A and B are shown apart, each in its own frame.
Chain A
Amino acid sequence: MNETDTGTPGPILTVEDLHVRYGGSHILQGVSFDVAPKGVTALLGRNGVGKTTTLKAILGLAPRTGRILAAGTEIQKHSTTRIVRDGIGYVPEDREVFGGLTVEENLRLVDRERGIEAPVVDRLFPDLVARRNQRAGTLSGGQQQMVALARVLLRPTTLLLIDEPTKGLAPKLVTEVADVLAEVARSTPILLVEQNLPLVRRIADDVVVLDAGRVVHRGRAATLVADADRTRELLGVSMRKEGAA
């Protein structure tokens, strides 16, 4: 939306000193990082370190303090609706498609004019077109993930926040989702929460690692993944097992 932005290769998203507190717990304790304007930035860490909360806080779905800049504009005071309309798409953990609505309705919710007829759906998710009248709740996990991805792509987006898109999916579907993500990432930067290390190795350019509500590592994905000891230290052994499976 801001024409000067195109000339500068600054970060598409900057998070500064982000704190989140619920009830008595202090979940994010001053998280700061940048998301590059191109490619995939993976947000990694063990379970419960605050990855999902970070995404929710960026969107205003969790009560937060700190500064969040999207393409240089402060957005921490904006409503969730406005943040999303201004171009940040969100694919939540567990898909959260509307199970009682049909596939077509799920998409028409975001884009009332085109919905399932949008070219992007036909190009990336041909499967969904065939199932347009099926209730989303009766779809398989992989298909639901496709619905969740499709509906954010119906809006023009400058950044996608995607939370564990391959969680609970069979290996074949993981590959399918990864293909879609790689395709999407060619045009839109992605901040990706992911536990599947091979997937991270395949599509991520940068990584940010969280531990106990703080950033403990920032760098290139390839560098981290190549360093087995550092990976184990930051992400735990279980990650490697899961990745090997």
Chain B
Amino acid sequence: MSFYGIVDGSESSLKHFLAQLPGVDQVGAEARAAMLATRSIKTSSKRWAIDTAISMVDLTTLEGADTAGKVRALCSKAVRPDPTDSTVPSVGAVCVYNDMVAIARTHLDSIGGEHVPVAAVSTAFPSGRASMEVKIQDTQDAIDSGAAEIDMVIDRGAFLSGQFGLVFDEIVKIREVCGDRAHLKVIFETGELVTYDNVRKASYLAMLAGADFIKTSTGKVAPAATPPVVLVMLEAVRDFYSMTNHRIGVKPAGGIRNTKDAIKQLVLVNETAGPEWLTPELFRIGASALLNDLLMQRMKMDDGYYASPNYVTID
């Protein structure tokens, strides 16, 4: 087998490819991300950024305490984030645990939210500690229930012990299960990979194995989607595009809680991967609390003052 004509999937070909990637200088990457964080986004561009960010939110609930009622409420919000303002776009997707997929899909369809996909966290999320058979079954179950997007976790233990082939094979197998029915997002849990070099290697490993998206974190481990981590991943998709002509998406998740953070992410996209990535097809933000702040900032731009938090709906 050949993956983009770059590796054959064997342990040795992967090791060889990943070893020749240039390193990431930590100080330099952090300085670049910090510099881009100083961009001042005002007036019309802020308005555009807020609406774009809303359309990119993967509105997420991943709690042990999730119930059908909670998920249905989330779905309603995903379709019409502001019930009083129909000009607010729907979010990018609803992201739930596998057993909630059918409930979410049914409810979305019943309220005119056919255009909002359901994303499921599969492969023994968040730890990924299960046998391959279980991970495949888990994924199949989510797709059969109506998930159009699968957010899988990699085996961080295997990655950190240098078993790149094992990580790669798992992604390839889940990719096969997804087939044409679901988009595949591959979660690295960058807070556990720790170094930017590892983030870069994991990015290429996932892209070569067939990921549609690369995603920073589960939201269960901190630090998560820090600007330098996202910077390194955006560099990877940019360079992968120039190698293969394929555009892979990026999804930061975890720690992006307010409009300022979200706009910083959009600036990173714009000045690293480029404006082609500024679409929900290629950039998503995994978040829950973020949406309400985006809505409040949007209201403030219209009204000129901050409304009480009671004017935005809780999930």
Q: Please say whether chains A and B are actual partners in one complex.
A: no
- Give A residues with C-beta under 8 Å from B: none
